[in-house]
Amino acid sequence: MSERIPMSMPFGWFQVAYSHDLEAATSMPLRYFDTDLVLFRTESGEAKVLDAYCPHMGAHLGYGIRDQAGGGASVVGDSIVCPFHGWAYNGEGQCTDIPYAKRMPPKVAKGEQVIRPWPVRELNQVIFVWYHPDGLAPYFEPETIAEAHADNDEWGGLKLHSWDINTHLQEIGENAVDPAHFLYVHGTQNIPTPDVMEFDGVYRRGKLVSKMATPRGEIVGVIANNSTGPGQATVRFSGICETVLMANLTPVDKENSRAFYAFIQKKVDGKEPVGGVADAIVKDICKQMSEDQIIWSHKKYFEKPMLCDNDGPFAKFRKWYGQFYA
């Protein structure tokens, strides 16, 4: 915690990679939640996450050697094999092999967990990890986004963008309930009108109606934004070019976050739209991120901001967000 950002990291499901980042029988290092981790995919295709450091002598499992150099440690069957002395670990954190030992250490012989496994879910072409500072088990699930299903022929592929942002997740999330900043930070034509804003358990659902100037004249666009916990958000733009944005946020540490943005656009006559309005939407959102980033990187969190009548429902948002702190 710092003076500028006095919050700890929230718990929930957080994106750590896209499915296509990780082929079968490969691994890679991760650094999120102020923790060194290794992500690997078993030969049978399951994604697994463990603490990074081998309990034998502390090698990092995310860095392979020799023909594995430049990638992670090798994966054999269901286990990742430490590059240092060849001990192997499955996704449940058990040691499955010490190739040169005649007598196994007691914990290994008993099949106990010797390295911390992290809960993983893979859906929407995304790999999510459950983070909880006290190690509590997941009590909700990430939301399935039908448009992001790899077999959904009506929608195009993922168009990817990402940002490393020098602030806390909550500060980024608060943008969604702040209609006034669109006019000042993003130069929209007016302050968009919030239509719906619901807070329901771990879910938040909002809808904004915004007038947008396009080459085809002024169009009323509807922006529906939903969150599941602090890490997963989905924004659906309709009115001009049907676009779904998976806007997932992950804590790197207490003051730094990574934003994974994947745009999916509805096919027109069986083809993914290119150029024109389709590209303009993506470009505009990316432009907005770089504008927001200047504010986020330098602003301070005020627990009691001085608000006025047309500000968004910040108190409700913060109350909702508060449920994700241990």
Query: Contact positions toward ligand FES, by CB under 6 A?
Result: 54, 56-59, 82, 84-87
Q: How are beta strands 232-238 and 88-90 bridged, if at all?
A: unpaired
Q: Which is nearer to ligand FES, 59 or 120 (CB)?
A: 59
Query: Residue 168: which of Fe ion, ligand FES, none does it interact with, CB under 5 to 8 A by kind?
Result: none
Q: Which is nearer to Fe ion, 242 or 292 (CB)?
A: 292
Question: Secondary structure of 110-130 in the HEC alphabet?
Answer: CCCECCCEECEEEECCEEEEE
Cβ within 8 Å of residue 279, ≥6 positions away: none
Cβ within 8 Å of residue 309, ≥6 positions away: none
* Backbone dihedral region for residue 189 (phi beyond 0: left; psi -120 to 50: alpha; all else: beta): alpha
Which x/- pattern over 278-297 shows residues binding Fe ion (rule: CB under 5 A)?
--------------x-----
Rounded Cα distance, 45 and 42, in Å: 5
Query: Residue 54: which of ligand FES, Fe ion, none does it interact with, CB under 5 to 8 A by kind?
Result: ligand FES
Q: Could you give the count of Cα atoms lying within 13 Å of 20 in the half-sphere of its Cβ?
A: 9
Q: How far is CA 325 from CA 9, 10, 47, 138, 226, in A?
A: 7, 5, 27, 14, 20
Shortest distance (Å) from residue 73 CB to ligand FES:
9
Which x/- pattern over 164-203 shows residues binding Fe ion (rule: CB under 5 A)?
-----------x----------------------------
Query: Residue 75: which of Fe ion, ligand FES, none does it interact with, CB under 5 to 8 A by kind?
Result: none
Shortest distance (Å) from residue 185 CB to Fe ion:
6
Query: Residue 161: which of ligand FES, Fe ion, none does it interact with, CB under 5 to 8 A by kind?
Result: none
Burial per residue of 129-157, b for 16 or more beta-carbon CB atoms within 10 angstroms, e otherwise: bbbbeeeeebeeebbebebbeeeeeebbe
Query: Residue 175: which of Fe ion, ligand FES, none does it interact with, CB under 5 to 8 A by kind?
Result: Fe ion
Query: Residue 203: which of ligand FES, Fe ion, none does it interact with, CB under 5 to 8 A by kind?
Result: none
By the 8 A CB rule, do 144 and 165 touch? no
Q: Which is nearer to Fe ion, 60 or 207 (CB)?
A: 207
Shortest distance (Å) from residue 257 CB to Fe ion:
14
H-helix segments, the chain: 106-109, 169-173, 180-185, 276-298, 314-322
Shortest distance (Å) from residue 59 CB to ligand FES:
4
Count, residues near Fe ion per rule CB under 5 A: 2
By the 8 A CB rule, do 128 and 39 touch? no
CB atoms within 10 A of CB 13: 27
Q: Which is nearer to ligand FES, 55 or 273 (CB)?
A: 55
Shortest distance (Å) from residue 162 CB to Fe ion:
16
Shortest distance (Å) from residue 101 CB to ligand FES:
10
Q: Which is nearer to ligand FES, 77 or 133 (CB)?
A: 77
Query: Residue 138: which of Fe ion, ligand FES, none does it interact with, CB under 5 to 8 A by kind?
Result: none
Q: Which residues bind Fe ion (CB under 5 A)?
A: 175, 292
